[in-house]
């Protein structure tokens, strides 16, 4: 955080927390056999997926989610999600959650599909409503 109490690079009117909460609830609801947590930190590696889930009985089965509240999804966003699938997480099923008004090009969709990453759109706008800023 900087001097004024917000993260560097995040728009002041961004709705990313709401998106992350909805994405985590959706992933947990669709995968009841997994114990999900948000902001799982891999100690010593500096990687932190937004949502991480581990199977309750088979610990090597893992799922992950990355929430992106951006205007346009880029190949770097897919690359970041792909990096969570490797060491140390070894996530087998990865998902990127995006806002309803996020644009996704065909090239990015193909990259995600080739990496076995699904893109899920949620009914959350990128910016907060004017009355939530009051």
- In tens, the pLDDT along 21-30 reads 999 999 999 9
pTM metric for this prediction: 0.82
Q: For residue 89, what are the CA distances in angstroms to 70, 106, 112? A: 25, 28, 18
Domains of the chain: 25-125 (3.40.1350.10)
- 7: pLDDT strictly greater than 60: no
* Closest C-alpha to 104, from 126, 127, 75, 72: 72
Instruction: Supply the DSSP string of 6-75, one letter for each residue.
Output: S-TTS-TTB-HHHHHHHHHHHHHHH-TTEEEEES--BTTTTB--SEEEEESS-TT-EEEEEEE--SEE-H
Using CA atoms, how far apart are residues 28 and 46, in angstroms rounded to an integer?
Answer: 24
Tens digits of residue pLDDT in 44-98: 676 788 898 999 999 889 999 999 999 999 999 999 999 888 877 788 899 999 9
What is the helix (H) or strand (E) element at residue 93, kind and residue range?
strand 93-98
Six-digit token pair at 95?
């998902």
């Amino acid at each position: 955080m900087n001097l004024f109490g917000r993260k560097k690079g995040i728009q002041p009117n961004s709705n990313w927390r709401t998106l992350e909460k909805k994405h985590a609830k959706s992933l947990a609801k669709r995968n009841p056999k997994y114990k999900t947590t948000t902001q799982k930190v891999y100690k010593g590696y500096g990687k932190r997926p937004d949502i991480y889930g581990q199977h309750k009985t088979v610990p090597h089965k893992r799922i992950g989610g990355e929430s992106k509240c951006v205007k346009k999804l880029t190949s770097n966003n897919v690359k970041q999600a792909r990096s969570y699938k490797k060491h140390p997480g070894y996530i087998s099923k990865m998902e990127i959650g995006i806002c309803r008004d996020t644009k996704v090009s065909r090239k990015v969709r193909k990259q995600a599909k080739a990496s076995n990453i699904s893109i899920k759109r949620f009914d959350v706008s990128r910016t907060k409503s004017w009355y939530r800023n009051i």
